[in-house]
Amino acid sequence: MAHIVISVNVMLMIEGYLVKYKNYFWVVKGCEHFDDYIIAYPRYDIINQVKIKSTSRALDIARKLGVLRYNECLKLEVPLLRRDEIEDVLNPFNRDLWPELPREVDLILGDLDSNELRDIGLTGSYLVSTILENIKPRDVDLIIRDVNVGFKVYKKLRELRERGSSKPLEEPEEFEGCDPETRTMLLKSRVLEGVIGDIIYSIRILSCRESFKPTCVESYGFYSGELIIVKDISPITMPYTYIAESKLGKILVKSLRMRYSEIPVGTRLIVLNCRIEKCSEDLTHISLDECTVKLLSLVI
């Protein structure tokens, strides 16, 4: 494996950056990170050159390496890597690292000018395959760090779907947190994930250009029951945020997982053991990230 060291401002490491630590490439998760640590999950085994597909397996690796730590601010066990111990960084916005991409990507990005293209990043297996030869890319994973550029790309994705140039992904590989039927049904109305020709694509629009400190959790509990999505606050930009009607009344629902993007208003979900986090007197939300979600009905 080639040894690549990419100089990057540590505060710029956000969702989609890949960092090397202890024979793994770890994917940085979200925008919220600490001064000395980043939250990241092992995604590629460098020695065996395989992808780590499940969160439970990733957490087992983090635990064995001693980086799965309880964080008092988050009141949660998360993988935390010290910034000064990170060995290498793959910057998704450095186009010198990109391999040649399928021509279908031009259908998505072709309307962007040179300045807008600077805010498009490549992550996932396509980026890692330039370092690990045995990793065979399946999906083109793009991230967008400018919301306005993201909205422009989203409009294009809608146009492609409406004229039949793209279609929903019908056979997803991963079902963590939900059953196959729920995962497949939620994909039907989503254009941030899909298929163009023979190419599977996935696009994440970020709400940040650099990391910032997390809002600490004052207290937490668990929620099980029905959620009815009554308003979409941020359905296409991470974190995906909605207002839902619940047995507790109206409440914010959030997720960093793309599978919970673009949920149509009116959708009914049944959830089991979702964390309900109180961050302040006026800020309480339910997280869909580490619980079981089942679709009851979907409005398309």
User: pLDDT of 282-300, one tens digit each?
Assistant: 789 999 999 999 999 887 7
Contact 176, 146 (CB under 8 A): no
The sign of the torsion formed by the CA atoms of 292, 296, 299, 300 equals positive
Three-state secondary structure call for residue 243: strand
230: left (phi over 0), alpha (psi -120 to 50) or beta: alpha
Contact 109, 116 (CB under 8 A): no
Cα angle, residue 7 at apex, residues 22 and 17 outer, rounded to 5° = 60
Please state whether the peptide bond connecting residue 235 to the residue before it is cis, i.e. omega within 30 degrees of 0: no
Structure tokens at 69: 């730590």
d(CA 151, CA 155): 6
d(CA 197, CA 167): 9
Average pLDDT over residues 212-239: 96
Residue 27: CB partners within 8 Å, gap ≥ 6? 16, 17, 18, 40, 41, 43, 123
d(CA 264, CA 272): 20
Residue at token pair 């990391």: 211
| Adjacency order of strands within the sheet including 199-205 | 120-123, 139-144, 199-205, 193-196
pLDDT > 80? residue 174: no
pTM of the predicted model as reported, rounded to 2 decimal places: 0.92
Contact 52, 26 (CB under 8 A): no
Structure tokens at 142: 């793009």
DSSP label of 235: S
pLDDT band for 113, please (50, 70, 90 cuts). Answer: very high
Domain positions in the chain: 10-90, 105-205, 219-297
pLDDT band for 20, please (50, 70, 90 cuts). Answer: very high
pLDDT tens per residue, range 24-78 = 999 999 999 999 999 999 999 999 999 998 999 999 999 999 999 999 999 999 9
d(CA 18, CA 238): 18
Average pLDDT over residues 84-92: 93
Indicate the CATH number for domain 219-297: 2.40.50.140
d(CA 263, CA 261): 6
Residue 5: predicted pLDDT? 44
